[in-house]
Structures are given as structure tokens and as C-alpha cells.
Amino acid sequence: MSLKEVLIDEMRDLYSAENQIIKALPKTIKQVSDDKMKALLTAHLEETKGQVVRLRTIFEHLGKKPTGKHCSGMEGCIKEVTEALEEDEEGALKDAGIIGASLRTEHYEIAGYSAAIAMAKTLKEDEVVKLLTETLHEEQTAAKNILSGATSILKEADAQEDEEDEEEEDEEKDPQEKESEEKSKEDEEEAAPEMEKATTPKTEKKASK
């Protein structure tokens, strides 16, 4: 395997990721309450279609086909967005969950494009670097816009929480939530042997008080 093949693999992964977003984003947009956030995500959906076309152009330039690898990372990111959509929260509180999951999605893309660009630079594939960088900038701008659009929504969500606080006390957990809780416990337990070797456990105590 050559570095060029690793780059092709990375780009196939990104191609799958972008297509997954195009499939999932309309459902997300429908459930967002905040008009500005809705407009922002709608614009980014259109931008994403351009990113798919851009990737096809790169593949054509390299004489390869764009398909061949499913991006499991994006599948996970989108699963988290879906989980946020399934919460029975409404309005700003629901938007807050969607924002958290969407921002992770953007940063996952940023990581993928950054790595691909570094590889293309090493290979002196200038045209590939140029096109991938255009997309990287779109992703960075999208992440920035989501975060700045979040400010007012989060304030609203904070006010909303006070009104609804009492209802949440003895809520039943569904099987999916229980499974997630158990897995998280396992994560902690499996990390424990390594954590015991940590050289900075003292700061943890200070922070928790």
C-alpha cells in the first residue's frame, strides 16, 4: 500500500460521510425550532451537496472511483444526532442537544479533511489540496456558525429547564438508555487499570470539590 492509496481511502471515507449527512440532515432540520439554526443547517446541507460534487471531481482527477468505503465514524456521529432528536425535550432544550451532536459532526469532518490535506500536500497533489481545502474552510465556517448561533438558544434552554425541572424527577429509563448507561459504566471500569497508573490523580480531587 502507498500513501496515495491511504489518501484515496481517506477520501472514500469522506465521500461516504458526506453522503450520510445529505441523507440525515433533512430530518434534523425539520426538528430544529430556532429559525436561524434551521436556516444555517439548510444552507450547510446545500453546501454539503457541493462537497460531494467536489469529491467526485477529485476522484475523476485521480482516475479513481469515489465509492468503496463506509464511514463508521460518521455513522456514529449521526446516531448521536438521532438520539438527540428522539429526546422528548422540546424547543430550545431539544435544539441544545442537536447543536451538541451537530458540532461533533462538523469537527469529525474537519479532522478527516485536515488529515487528507496533509497527505495530499506530502504527495504534492496541488489540485487535490486546493479542492479539499475549500471544503475544509466550509466545515470550519459551519462549526463556527453553529457555535455562535447556539448562544441565544442555550440561554433560552437554560430558562426552559427551570420550568420543567420537577417533571423530570422519576422518569422511567427505556431499554436503550439503560444499555447506554451500562456500557458507559463498562467504559469506566475498563479504563480503571490504566487510570490507576495516572500520575495526576490529585487534581481530580481538587476539581470535584
Q: Which residues bind Fe ion (CB under 5 A)?
A: 18, 48, 51, 106, 109, 139, 142
CB 105, CB 72: distance < 8 Å: no
- Give dist(CA 161, CA 168) in Å, integer: 10
Which of 73, 80, 107, 115 is close enough to bind Zn ion by CB under 5 A?
A: 73
User: What does 89 interact with, of Fe ion, Zn ion, none (CB < 5 to 8 A by kind)?
Assistant: none
> Which one of Zn ion, Fe ion, none is in contact with 34 (Cβ closer than 5 to 8 A by kind)?
none
> Is there binding between residue 71 and Zn ion (CB under 5 A)?
yes
Any idea which residue has 427551570 for its cell? 162
Residue 13 interacts with Zn ion (CB under 5 A)?
yes
Rounded to the nearest 5 percent, the helix, strand and coil shares of the chain are 85, 0, 15
Instruction: Examine residue 21 and tell whether it contacts Zn ion (CB under 5 A).
Output: no
Residue type, position 192, single letter: A
How far apart CA 36 and CA 31 sit, in angstroms, is 13
Residue 75: CB minimum distance to Zn ion, A: 8
Positions in the binding site for Zn ion (CB under 5 A): 13, 71, 73
